[in-house]
């Protein structure tokens, strides 16, 4: 991380016969847009700023797992995401999100990322 230069990258690609386009630095709100700063913002829970630097909403796509179906019993269906290793999940907290279903439906949702202190199987 942070060890390469554009010249080293171009030389490496030239040696391997790979094309390489260097994109000029992008600055927004006085900050150089980089994957490092975006990851940092997401891990801090600053989704609004991360989305601004990304130019689009951060999205998580993964498998939905089955829980205890407590939400259905309470009249509010819920989903349990099982994120694969390496998926960048924002800091623990509660977020307003948009859920897209495979059938094309989309729903506004409240998403809790983190612990479930009041949910126990009894």
Q: Is residue 48 part of a domain?
A: yes
Q: Which of 35, 48, 41 is nearest to 96 (CA)?
A: 48
Q: Is residue 120 part of a domain?
A: no
Q: Is residue 95 part of a domain?
A: yes
Q: What residues are paired with 40 via a beta bridge? A: none
Q: Is residue 118 part of a domain?
A: no
CA pseudo-torsion sign 37, 51, 20, 26: negative
Q: What is the pLDDT of residues 58-82, one digit of tens each?
A: 998 877 777 777 777 888 777 777 7
Report the SS3 class of residue 111: strand
Domain housing 76: 6-113
Q: Which of 46, 7, 71 is nearest to 37 (CA)?
A: 46
Alpha carbons 43 and 38: distance in angstroms, whole number: 9
Q: Which of 37, 64, 59, 63 is nearest to 49 (CA)?
A: 37
**Which is more confidently placed, 84 or 63?**
84
Q: What is the pLDDT of residues 93-103, one digit of tens each?
A: 888 888 888 89
Alpha carbons 53 and 110: distance in angstroms, whole number: 23
| pLDDT of 41 | 96
Mean residue pLDDT across the chain: 86
Q: 80 φ, ψ to 5°?
A: -120, 115
Domain count, the chain: 1
Q: What is the pLDDT of residues 23-60, one digit of tens each?
A: 899 999 899 999 999 999 999 999 999 999 999 999 98
Alpha carbons 22 and 15: distance in angstroms, whole number: 16
Q: Is residue 121 part of a domain?
A: no
| pLDDT of 47 | 93
How many degrees, rounded to 5, is the angle at CA 63 between CA 57 and CA 65?
A: 120
Q: Is residue 19 part of a domain?
A: yes
Q: Is residue 15 part of a domain?
A: yes
pLDDT tier at 11, thresholds 50, 70, 90: very high
Q: Is residue 59 part of a domain?
A: yes
């Amino acid at each position: 991380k942070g060890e390469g230069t554009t010249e080293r990258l171009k030389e490496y690609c030239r040696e391997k016969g790979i094309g390489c386009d260097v994109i000029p630095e992008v600055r927004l709100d006085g900050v150089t847009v980089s994957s490092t700063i975006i990851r940092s913002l997401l891990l801090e829970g600053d989704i609004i700023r991360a989305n601004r630097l990304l130019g689009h909403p951060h999205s998580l796509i993964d498998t939905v797992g089955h829980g205890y179906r407590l939400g259905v019993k309470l009249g509010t269906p819920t989903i349990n995401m099982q994120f694969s290793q390496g998926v960048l999940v924002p800091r623990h907290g509660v977020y307003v999100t948009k859920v897209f279903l495979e059938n094309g439906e989309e729903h506004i949702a409240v998403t809790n990322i983190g612990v479930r202190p009041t949910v126990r199987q009894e």
